[in-house]
């Protein structure tokens, strides 16, 4: 008999789940708040995971606007967008509204990756995807960048140990292929690691505001958490970096 996948704590109504209007409007499943301690899969980097929570659509779009002002090295249709810690794929769905060469999610939790794949399929079926999309179930620290210009999106997925490993893993490939990489970092808690990195130049640092609708939605979602661990803010501290050869 096929084993029933385990329900993650934070994704059920009894855990205080409130659906974000994005899910209600588009019939997808990206809402929920899973604390880092519930993401453990016996994985070597589990204890460094922050939490699962999907990015506010207005924050994601605001970052793309700021990134495009930073004069990317190539047209958007030559870039692959990679969401490191992609969760259930909300940022991927939003990214596919733009004509990227490809949109790739890297998520280490199998339950979240599985739900994410279903969301991508719904998005494609609804004809909303302007870019090819895929979800890879893997540790971000083991993911190699694809060829061509890349833009990595991070919504505070993990602590400094994993972020350092990701950068170390990418460094040799970037040097070998003289590749292009920009990094969009939302809720930039580990900012100092990027700031001190010898190959990274900061292009933007500041607060990106949520739309009023997203502020209201996130406030409603976060005030219904049983443990009240996370606070709802009207903005996110963000930064954008470029890898320089």
Ligand X SMILES: C[S@@+](CC[C@H](N)C(=O)[O-])C[C@H]1O[C@@H](n2cnc3c(N)ncnc32)[C@H](O)[C@@H]1O
By CB under 6 A, name the binding residues for ligand X: 39, 45, 49-55, 83, 85-87, 90-91, 106-109, 112, 139-141, 155-158, 162
How far apart are CB 221 and ligand X at their closest, in Å? 13
The tokens of 196 are what?
A: 């001190």
Q: Cβ closer to ligand X: 158 or 170?
A: 158
Strand (E) positions, the chain? 34-35, 51-52, 80-84, 102-107, 133-137, 150-155, 181-186, 200-209, 235-243
The tokens of 59 are what?
A: 């924050």
Three-state DSSP class for 17? coil
Nearest to 88 by CA among 30, 133, 154, 138: 30
CA distances from 207 to 143, 189, 196, 234, 239 (A): 29, 13, 20, 9, 9
Q: Cβ closer to ligand X: 63 or 245?
A: 63
Q: Cβ closer to ligand X: 38 or 176?
A: 38
How far apart are CB 4 and ligand X at their closest, in Å? 20
How far apart are CB 245 and ligand X at their closest, in Å? 26
Q: Cβ closer to ligand X: 113 or 200?
A: 113
Q: Cβ closer to ligand X: 108 or 123?
A: 108
CA distances from 13 to 8, 162, 181, 224 (A): 12, 31, 40, 10
How far apart are CB 244 and ligand X at their closest, in Å? 25
How far apart are CB 51 and ligand X at their closest, in Å? 6
Which residue has the CB atom at the shortest distance from ligand X? Answer: 85
């Amino acid at each position: 008999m096929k084993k029933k996948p385990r329900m993650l704590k934070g994704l059920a109504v009894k855990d205080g789940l409130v659906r974000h209007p994005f899910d209600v409007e588009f019939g997808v499943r990206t809402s929920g708040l899973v604390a880092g301690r519930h993401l453990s899969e016996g994985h070597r980097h589990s204890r460094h995971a922050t939490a699962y929570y999907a990015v506010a659509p207005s924050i994601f779009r605001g970052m793309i606007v700021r990134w495009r002002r930073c004069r990317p090295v190539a047209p958007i249709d030559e870039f692959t967008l990679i969401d490191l810690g992609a969760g259930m794929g909300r940022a991927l769905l939003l990214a596919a509204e733009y004509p990227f060469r490809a949109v790739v999610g890297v998520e280490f939790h199998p339950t979240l990756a599985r739900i994410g794949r279903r969301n991508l399929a719904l998005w494609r079926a609804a004809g909303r995807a302007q870019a090819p999309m895929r979800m890879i179930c893997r540790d971000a620290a083991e993911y190699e960048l694809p060829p061509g210009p890349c833009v990595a999106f991070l919504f505070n997925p993990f602590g400094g140990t994993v972020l350092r490993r990701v950068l170390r893993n990418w460094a040799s490939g970037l040097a070998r292929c003289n590749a292009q990489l920009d990094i969009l970092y939302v809720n930039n808690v580990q900012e100092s690691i990027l700031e001190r990195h010898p190959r990274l130049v900061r292009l933007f640092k500041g607060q990106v505001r949520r739309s009023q609708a997203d502020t209201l939605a996130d406030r409603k979602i976060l005030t219904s958490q049983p443990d009240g661990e996370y606070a709802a803010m009207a903005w996110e501290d963000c930064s954008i970096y470029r890898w320089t050869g």
